[in-house]
Structure 1
Amino acid sequence: MKLFAAPAFSNEKVNPYNALLYRELQQLGVEVEEYRHSKALRTPADIVHFHWPDGDINRASLGKSLQRMLLMIAMVCLFKWRGTKILWTVHNTAPHDARRPQLSNTFMQWFARRCDGFIFMSEANRAAFYQHYNPSPHSHYAIIPHGHYRSCYPPAIDSLSAKTRLGLDPTKKVLLFIGMIKPYKNIDGLMQAFNQIALGDYQLVIAGTADTAPPELRSALETLKNNRTQLFLRFIPDDELAVFMSAADTVILPYKAILNSGALLLALSYNRPVIAPHMGAVAELQKKLGRQWIYGYASDLTPTSLTHALLALEHSNRPEACPLDSYSWDKLAAQTLDFYRQSGTPAHTVATATPSDKPH
């Protein structure tokens, strides 16, 4: 089986999800190549597997965006003519930061109608997709969850040593947000809520690059900073990521909207409990792994909901390691390969993990 993946390995330093999946698929005998228009034009493949198909058209220049969109449309038409199967792993129903949402939505509606199959990471992911899109009646889908990141990043170190290395107060617990700073992630809302809670034994740490954030958001974060908050507004390399995770007592994802989140699996891979909105994959993972690992809050993040979440996790009994065996990449790659092999099945046949393979 020959497969072009967009992307396969090229984004590994930013997000190792794809590389972890496709290396396991290579171990299962799948011939995986990085997708390039020029290569796909010359060399037929059995499957083209897209992850963020609108990414290439989200350019600053409208002319460049239209050019890339027309090229993508031409390639999709070529794949359909050749009989190449087109699959899409739907990480997000709609992009968080599209420069031209209407143009992006028009293209994605067109693209979805021409896909032969979809991979979703949760049932909520699937439901949101079918509310938004009207795919071909001949398409089918699989629900295959996000994998963990154990053995992918440097190991954890002693918590006290980690706090000392970061210049944090070693006597206080750490509530950590780590990741790129973007408006939809609601970091300013988190800081406002944290500034109003009465738990003086906590310090808030915000770590991640704000290079692509609006200037007014970065200015707001600097304004909201006080002596209980530390800002590390820069790119966090892998070795430092392990230090931040080791220093954390709890990780928080205060997003305004969340469907799937690699950051959630990253925190759990370091055996850190997580606070996040009770929606999408967060709710499903909470049900499977337990509220002692994932505290999902309803509605908006407020000082009250943040306080309740911190106290609940503080008084929860957890094993030393979060049970993530069902989210290992060898198992997820096997499920993905099964879906590839079923890519020509009738529309009513749904490829999902068998009961014995589903995470518990």
Structure 2
Amino acid sequence: MKRLIAFPKAGAYTSPLYEVLSKKGVEVLSGQWSLSWLLSQCRRGDTIHIHWPSFIYQANGKSTVKALVGLIKYSFSLILLRLKGVVIFWTAHNLLPHERCESAWIDFWARKLTIWLSGTIFVHGRNAQKVLNSNFPSSRTKCVSIPHGHWIDYYGPKVDKRSAQERLNLPEDKFTLLMFGQLRPYKNIRFLMDSISVAEHSDVQLLIAGKFKESDYEAQISEAAEKNPNIRLDARFISDEEVPTYLAASDLMLMPYSEILTSGTAMLAISYGLPVASIKAGFLLDVITEETGLFLEEISQAELIRVINQAQSMDWAAEAILTHAKTFSFDEAGQQTYQALIGDHYSKKP
């Protein structure tokens, strides 16, 4: 029986993927990243699957000293695993971590090392692969493009729009823009808020829902939100059961991010029939169509206001969006992962 050791195993993305592998007879284990655990538990022929390397080498902090020590330990562990005959998979969810180390070169070299030692690198779509290959040419011979599976009904069935608005105490006569998920600086939240304030749309409201990681950033955003009655900030962890309510109460998912390779937020939106407005980059080029959303041609207030106005004028069809979302399947992603699992990973030079 093939064994795959996951880092991590549980999660909205990883759980459905590994469920497919388990049905194919793969033993999927949850890993612990310590050298003693890895050397005692990993056997020749096992595969370890890493999703977010920075969660490992940044575990004790992002300062140069702490991150460098983490990188050295991470590198040493990977090299020993390779020498032991363990196969390494990496899924490139991001080009680089959203939260960089104090010294940016540490994140860059962590990526280089992960690519060098990996047998297979999974990417979500051809445009995400182009970005990765352009920035890290050594990844070209190792990439396998897999879909980012949809989450239709994953968090529960769709909710009636008016019921959702009532639950969240939102007026029904306003076009609701949603910024959802972990609230981080790279998502350009302050830019979004300033643009809404400049536009002065009385019929538009911005709903920001999610948990901040940095208290200083949360204080900054909270202070700005209090100044505009058309901005609602729900700064907290949104439980799985609440997710369909927030999506149903909204009219457009806004993602004016400064960077993107793959986006679970975009897939979540279309999985519940909600159109997306995002930058024109990476995975979004494979996911957003004329029926499912709009692209920002640049990050500017004028362009964002133009896209919001266009979105308001369009007659979005939730069923068409859902039909498109169904073409992105965890079953297919799991099948391709399984094929890689039973394949030859190190026949080509790094």
TM-score scaled by length of structure 1 = 0.86
Label 1:117 to 1:227 Cα distance change in 2 as closer, same or farther (>3 A): same
Q: CA RMSD in A?
A: 2.3
Q: Which AA in structure 1 matches 2:335?
A: A
Match of 1:52 in 2: 52
Of all paired residues, the percent bearing the same amino acid is 27
**Whole-Å separation in 2 of the counterparts to 1:258 and 1:71:** 28
Establish whether residue 292 from structure 1 lines up as the match of residue 294 from structure 2.
no
1:240-296 CA-partner distances (Å, limit 9, x unpaired): 22211110111111211111100000011111011111111111212xxx2121211
The 8 Å contact of residues 292 and 313 in structure 1, kept in 2 or not, is answered as no
Q: Say if 2:89 and 2:119, in contact at 8 Å, map to a contact too.
A: yes
Instruction: Determine which of 152, 155, 158 is the counterpart of 1:153.
Output: 155
Offset of 1:347 from its aligned partner? 3.9
Give the secondary structure class of the aligned counterpart of 2:138: coil
- Matched ranges for 1:311-322 at <5 A: 311-312=310-311, 314-318=313-317, 320-321=319-320, 322=322
SS of the residue 1:195 aligns to? helix
What secondary structure does 1:232 align onto? strand
Gaps of 5+ in 2: none
Equivalent-residue separation in structure 2 for 1:188 and 1:136 (angstroms): 35
8 Å CA contact retained: 1:4, 1:40: no
Q: Does residue 340 in structure 1 map to residue 341 in structure 2?
A: yes
Aligned to 1:356: none
Structure 2 contact 88–120 (Cα < 8 Å) conserved = yes
1:170 matches 2:169: no
Q: Distance in 1 between matches of 2:306 and 2:197?
A: 11
Q: Does 1:4 align with 2:14?
A: no
In structure 2, relative to structure 1, the CA distance for the partners of 1:64 and 1:305 (3 Å cut) is closer
Q: C-alpha separation between the residues in 2 aligned to 1:332 and 1:136?
A: 19
The Cα of 1:207 is off from its aligned counterpart by: 0.8
Alpha-carbon distance between aligned partners in 1 of 2:238 and 2:302, rounded to the nearest angstrom: 28
Q: What amino acid maps onto 1:46 in structure 2?
A: D
Does structure 1 residue 115 correspond to structure 2 residue 118?
yes
**Matched positions, count:** 338
1:155-206 CA distance string (max 9 Å, x none)? 2221111111111112222111111111100011111111222543221111
The answer on 1:302 being equivalent to 2:298 is no
Quote the residue 2:31 is aligned against. Answer: 35
Q: Which amino acid aligns with 1:190?
A: L
1:290-332: CA deviation from partner (whole Å, max 9, x where unpaired): 2121211111142444333442464245252521222121121
Residue type of the partner of 2:158?
Answer: A
- Counterpart Cα distance in 2 of 1:148 and 1:295: 19
Question: Are the counterparts in 2 of residues 148 and 327 from structure 1 also a CA contact under 8 Å?
Answer: yes
After TM superposition, the structure 1 stretch with the greater mean CA deviation from structure 2, 63-72 or 264-273, is: 63-72
| Match of residue 229 from structure 2 | 227
Partner of 1:218: 219
Q: Secondary structure at the match of 1:275?
A: strand
2:314, 2:138 → 1: CA distance? Answer: 46
Mark the runs of 5 or more structure 1 residues left unpaired by the alignment: 349-360
- Cα distance change on mapping 1:183 and 1:136 into 2, 3 Å: closer
Structure 1 309/223 Cα, relative in aligned 2: closer, same or farther at 3 Å? closer
Letter in 1 for 2:52: W
Give the aligned partner of residue 105 of structure 1: 108
Structure 1 window deviating more from structure 2 (310-319 vs 111-120): it is 310-319
Tell whether the 8 Å contact from 1:205 to 1:230 is kept in structure 2 after alignment.
yes
Match of 2:279 in 1: 277
Work out the CA distance in 1 between the residues paired with 2:148 and 2:274. Answer: 17
Do the aligned partners of 2:121 and 2:139 also contact (CA within 8 Å) in 1? no
SS at match of 2:179: strand
Question: Quick check: 2:120–2:345 contact (8 Å CA) kept in 1?
Answer: no
Partner of 2:129: 126
